[in-house]
Amino acid sequence: MSSAQDKTDPRDELVDHLPAMRAFAMSLTRNSATADDMVQDTLVKAWTNIEKFQAGTNMRAWLFTILRNTFYSNRRKAVREVADIDGVFTDQLSQKPDHDGRLQMRDFNVAFAQLPDEQREALVLVGASGFSYEEAAETCGVKVGTIKSRVNRGRKRLTELLDSSDDEAMELTDSATMAVVADRVNGLM
């Protein structure tokens, strides 16, 4: 195959970051087809611009930067597209609501999708991908304080949204119970 080269090629490491790239892309787009297209674009860009990667630095942060740049430039191109919103709902419909955990997850996904992009990505980078605040700041090209405040605002908003969906569920249960009780009472009379 390829002629033997002694020095390691950073491009050989790209494959190791694919799962994380897909997960990050998915959290940005909430749509697996769009996410994988974005990952594909990112791979090609990384491959052809590999000389811009500084050996010994954080390759995942570098790749995530390319990925989010791709996301935001695609988004600008398709401002009025509603595909992402459709994606959110089809993704949710495909989840079987047969379990409390599933329902909870669905509530979470609905709430999460309502957050601004900047808060979503900050939450995912710090809360799920294991990035430090510093790495997340570097990836997004903003100050550490900005990431911290996005994380805090995102958490606050998520908590509000989840609390209100809990209340709704509770109200539904209550009125269902009331209806049953009312029927019973009526039946007895």
Partner 1 sequence: MTKKHQSNGDDPIEANLKRVYDEVIKEEIPDRFKDLLAQLKAQDGSKGNDSGGATQ
Instruction: Give residues in contact with partner 1 (CB under 8 A).
Output: 2, 5, 11, 14-15, 18-20, 22-24, 26-27, 36, 39-40, 43-44, 47, 104-105, 108-109, 112, 123-124, 127-129, 155, 158-159, 162
Nearer to partner 1, 70 or 129 (CB): 129
Output the 3-class SS for the chain: CCCCCCCCCHHHHHHHHHHHHHHHHHHHHCCHHHHHHHHHHHHHHHHHCHHHCCCCCCHHHHHHHHHHHHHHHHHHHCCCCCHHHHHHHHHHHCCCCCCHHHHHHHHHHHHHHCCCHHHHHHHHHHHCCCCCHHHHHHHHCCCHHHHHHHHHHHHHHHHHHHHHHHHHHHHHHHHHHHHHHHHHHHHHC
Nearer to partner 1, 130 or 141 (CB): 130
Nearer to partner 1, 23 or 144 (CB): 23
Min dist. Cβ of residue 142 to partner 1 (A): 20
Min dist. Cβ of residue 183 to partner 1 (A): 35
Min dist. Cβ of residue 139 to partner 1 (A): 15
Nearer to partner 1, 85 or 180 (CB): 85
Nearer to partner 1, 26 or 66 (CB): 26
Min dist. Cβ of residue 8 to partner 1 (A): 14
Nearer to partner 1, 170 or 176 (CB): 170
Min dist. Cβ of residue 30 to partner 1 (A): 10
Min dist. Cβ of residue 186 to partner 1 (A): 40
Q: Do residues 74 and 46 touch, judged by C-beta distance below 8 A?
A: no
CA 163 to each of CA 107, 114, 124, 138: distance values in angstroms, whole numbers, following the listed order: 10, 14, 20, 32
